[in-house]
């Protein structure tokens, strides 16, 4: 059986788990080819400087970074939370909103403090994702390839965290699409952190972008 190794351009364990769940099984069952997904963290690669000013720019620079250093196809996403009343912030700064990259708890606390006096009906927000595939020149004797797909999940910001699943802003984000699983018995809808991984991936910005990219990965690499 042929094996295709793809590098996930992230050190975020929660994101690695999500991306593996979305891609690895589906790719490995679509053909007589095994998919081996490894992360930048697994390979000891550093994080690139994310100096892009859009989600697409940052997704591409991360995917290029791992592809150039390994000679393997790279997949990256750049995602962020966009809060309407905050003028599209935190946006591309979502992961370091409180000042330290990846401090999820601090990011949530700061955002909730900033929205403290905003009523529920005006706490609309959405997640955006750009997922990029970069295949370096010469891989499998092919030309270089760069593809970007997008995904979006709309909802609103809760007044306090709920749920233990997921990562990032999941515990304070209430998606509009409740998958017919609204917690009616509790009188409120679910946050992303109250959903299972399968439920979240079915409606999430990253799930939508990765499913769109899946066809490109299949066509180019399998």
Q: What is the pLDDT of residues 115-165, one digit of tens each?
A: 999 999 999 999 999 999 999 999 988 889 999 999 999 999 999 999 999
CA 215 vs CA 23, 43, 89, 182: distances in Å:
11, 26, 31, 31
Look at the chain and report how many structural domains it folds into.
1
What was the pLDDT predicted at 94?
A: 97
Q: Half-sphere exposure of residue 156, counting CA atoms within 13 Å on the CB side? A: 15
What does the alpha-carbon distance between residue 16 and residue 8 come to, in Å, rounded to a whole number?
Answer: 7
Q: Quote the domain boundaries for residue 195.
A: 2-221
- The residue from 78, 84, 117, 140 that is catalytic is 78
Residue 187's pLDDT is what? 65
Q: Distance between CA atoms of 99 and 117, rounded to whole angstroms?
A: 23
Low-confidence stretches of the chain (pLDDT beneath 50): 184
The question of whether 78 is a catalytic residue gets the answer yes
CATH of the domain at 170: 3.90.950.10
* Confidence at residue 222, expressed as pLDDT on a 0 to 100 scale: 82
**End-to-end alpha-carbon separation of the chain, Å?**
12
90: number of CA atoms within 13 Å, CB side?
23
């Amino acid at each position: 059986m042929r094996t295709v190794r793809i590098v996930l351009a992230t050190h975020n364990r929660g994101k690695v788990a999500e991306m593996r769940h979305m891609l690895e099984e589906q790719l490995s069952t679509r053909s007589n080819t095994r998919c081996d997904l490894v992360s930048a963290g697994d390979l000891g690669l550093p994080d690139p400087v994310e100096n892009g000013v859009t989600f697409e720019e940052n997704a591409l620079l991360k995917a290029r970074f791992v592809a150039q250093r390994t000679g393997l196809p790279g997949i990256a996403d750049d995602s962020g939370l966009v809060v309407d009343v905050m003028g599209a912030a935190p946006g591309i700064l979502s992961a370091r909103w409180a000042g330290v990259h990846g401090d999820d708890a601090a990011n949530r606390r700061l955002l909730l403090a900033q929205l403290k006096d905003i009523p529920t009906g005006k706490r609309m927000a959405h997640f955006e994702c750009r997922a990029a595939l970069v295949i370096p020149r010469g891989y499998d004797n092919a030309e270089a390839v760069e593809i970007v797909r997008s995904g979006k999940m709309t909802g609103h910001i809760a007044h306090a965290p709920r749920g233990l699943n997921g990562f990032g802003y999941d515990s304070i984000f209430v998606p509009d699409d409740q998958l017919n699983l609204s917690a009616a018995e509790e009188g409120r809808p679910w946050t992303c952190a109250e959903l299972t991984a399968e439920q979240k991936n079915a409606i999430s910005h990253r799930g939508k972008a990765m499913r769109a990219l899946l066809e490109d990965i299949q066509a180019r690499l399998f």
